[in-house]
Structure 1
Amino acid sequence: MDTDEYDYESLGSNTTMTQNAFAGALAGIAEHCAMYPVDSIKTRMQVITSVTEKAVKQPPVTLRNLWKGVNSVVLGAGPAHALHFATYEYCKDYFGANGNGHHPLASAAAGACATLVHDGLMNPFDVVKQRMQLRDSAYKTIRECARSVYAKEGFTAFYISLPTTLVMSVPFQSIQFATYEFFRKVLNPDGPHYDPKSHVIAGALAGAIASSVTTPLDVIKTLLQTRGSNQDSRIRNARGFREAASIIMERHGIKGFFRGFRPRVLTHMPSAAISWSVYEYIKWIINTRNNTQQQKEKENFISL
């Protein structure tokens, strides 16, 4: 059997949890870093500002300050995505999504489970990242930002947005994983063959669809994660999902829930394509190596 031709549909079961985690960590770092400046623009567009803040002259936007906070993403994305993809592969196999045909509910359920472990670990890093992405942020390092947030707002500041994040991320990831698996199988019906083009297209479509549907929840999450840096006392004291949603509705109406829609979609389309492509590529390399090793062991055994 040619080592380049293997059952690609059962890839998750042919690689170990550690190998899936390693592939996921690399995919997560590549995904977040590649589109980070666009994500910074999205965050700034979503932030609700008061009349007083609008009157104050803001510092100019430069490419350099659009990268502020990227270290927080690198530190968090690696381990968070390692858990994310390892959990996804395990749950996908457990729920039966690796079988022939389409299994959108099983894939969505696996994606939801993976999201719970990912967001629990990633949320504090995301809070620091968004505080540093603000246009008027004076923080120079992620340590300085984290210490300041903790000193002024306490430990709860790192997790106050977690319920909203989960309300957004669970449907986002469920939709993304289900649509990715669907488009991957449609674009690559000859499942056993590795096809990078199908991963790029399926990932981009999945990212676009999932980000479009969940943008309103992302706007609410951004308000809660950046509230401590806001000059508006009502925003600064917002305590949860309902209050944040009320503020957005009162200030900007329905349109307020779609602030940053375009950069969010423009971020998630290529980032999802990059993430899935890197993830599948690393797994393909690992699985090919595993199959080669197994073939050599088999040949050695036969020769004995």
Structure 2
Amino acid sequence: MADTLPQEDIDSDPYRALKDIFCGTAGGIAQVLVGQPFDTTKVRIQSAPPGTYSSSWDVVKKLLAKEGPLAFYKGTLTPLIGIGAVVSVQFAVNEQMKRFFKAKNNGGEMTLPQFFMAGSASGLANGLIAGPIEHIRIRLQTQTTGPKDFAGPLDVIKKLYNRGGIRLLFKGLGATELREGIGSGSYFLTYEGLVQRQMKKEGKTRQQLESWKLCTFGGLSGYTMWLSIYPIDVLKSNMQADSYKNPKFGSYSQAAKYIFQKFGARGFFKGIVPTLLRAAPANAATFVAFEETMRLIG
């Protein structure tokens, strides 16, 4: 059975990296399908002009009334393909870093700082892919009723590239990398720390832990990640939602100044409610899909 393979057999599997990527892709697809409505709500709040929405619930009501339920899945195609790739890279790099640290420790247990460093490395790697993918998604998510600038993901890419080349497509990359480095470190530190603690407590292998416990650990990891990096994400969203034809922000400092002047310190936490509501189900789905797929293929 796949769930009873000795750890040394798993580590020496010549197809391990490909399996990590495949399982990460499964986790990414699950994350998008579960989390997209929450993410659309979050982005609308983060990037809307003052007075547009009074609360997260106000976003939901206006989206349903003016654009219909499918509006919550605007821009889904890009993340469904892209986030699958992003999460596959994230999990594959994290698993590789775990093997690196385990070898460095002569087969011994990893320390909590090592879990953080492994997760941080995975975040920096996937940030290069996540940056432009999230930029495209945000352009589509922030389109409301009436004339639209973009007909779809490919149209976004074409118009952004024609306007500002690769540099415009990768707008917000610095904030994305900072967010991913800190956030993914916190994310995997929390998850792996909880998994290791439970394994010791119950005397079980990783493959023997119940799925509901993995769901719980994944949800808690999502909370840890977002609470550690949310203001950075707000800054990134405002940079990427800024007009690509007549931008207000020429730098992160200008965007930060605008947010503070318009909303005060609370502006850096706009949209945190739907984000935290999303964190538990989306990240629980991500980790369970990853772990269960890993058990299935060995």
How big is the alpha-carbon RMSD for the aligned residues of Structure 1 and Structure 2? 2.6
Q: 2:133 aligns with which of 97, 118, 125?
A: 125
Structure 1, unmatched stretches of 5+, are 288-304
| Aligned counterpart, 2:56 | none
CA contact (8 A) 1:157 1:225 kept: no
Cα deviation 1:228-287 (Å, max 9, x = unaligned)? 269xx6xx2312322211111111111000000011111222111111111011111122
Matched, 1:111 2:111: no
Q: For 1:150-229, what aligned pairs fall within 5 Å after superposition? A: 150-189=161-200, 190-192=203-205, 193-195=207-209, 196-228=211-243
Q: Cα gap change, 1:13/1:27 in structure 2, threshold over 3 Å: closer, same or farther?
A: farther
User: Identity of counterpart residues, as a percentage?
Assistant: 22
Matched, 1:267 2:282: no
Matched, 1:238 2:249: yes
TM-score of the superposed pair, with normalisation by structure 1: 0.83
Q: 1:67 aligns with which of 55, 62, 73?
A: 73
Q: Cα gap change, 1:103/1:280 in structure 2, threshold over 3 Å: closer, same or farther?
A: same
Q: Cα gap change, 1:157/1:277 in structure 2, threshold over 3 Å: closer, same or farther?
A: same
| Aligned counterpart, 1:257 | 268
Cα separation, 2, equivalents of 1:73 and 1:40 = 12
TM-score of the superposed pair, with normalisation by structure 2: 0.85
Bigger Cα Rg: 1
Cα separation, 2, equivalents of 1:11 and 1:273 = 24
Cα deviation 1:43-85 (Å, max 9, x = unaligned)? 001014168x89xx99824211121100010221222222221
Runs of 4 or more above 3 Å deviation: 6-15, 97-102
Q: For 1:46-125, what aligned pairs fall within 5 Å after superposition? A: 46-49=46-49, 60-96=66-102, 103-125=111-133
CA contact (8 A) 2:75 2:152 kept: yes
8-17 or 37-46: which moved more? 8-17
Structure 2, unmatched stretches of 5+, are 54-61
Q: Deviation of residue 197 (structure 1)?
A: 2.0
Cα separation, 2, equivalents of 1:146 and 1:105 = 39
Cα separation, 2, equivalents of 1:191 and 1:225 = 45
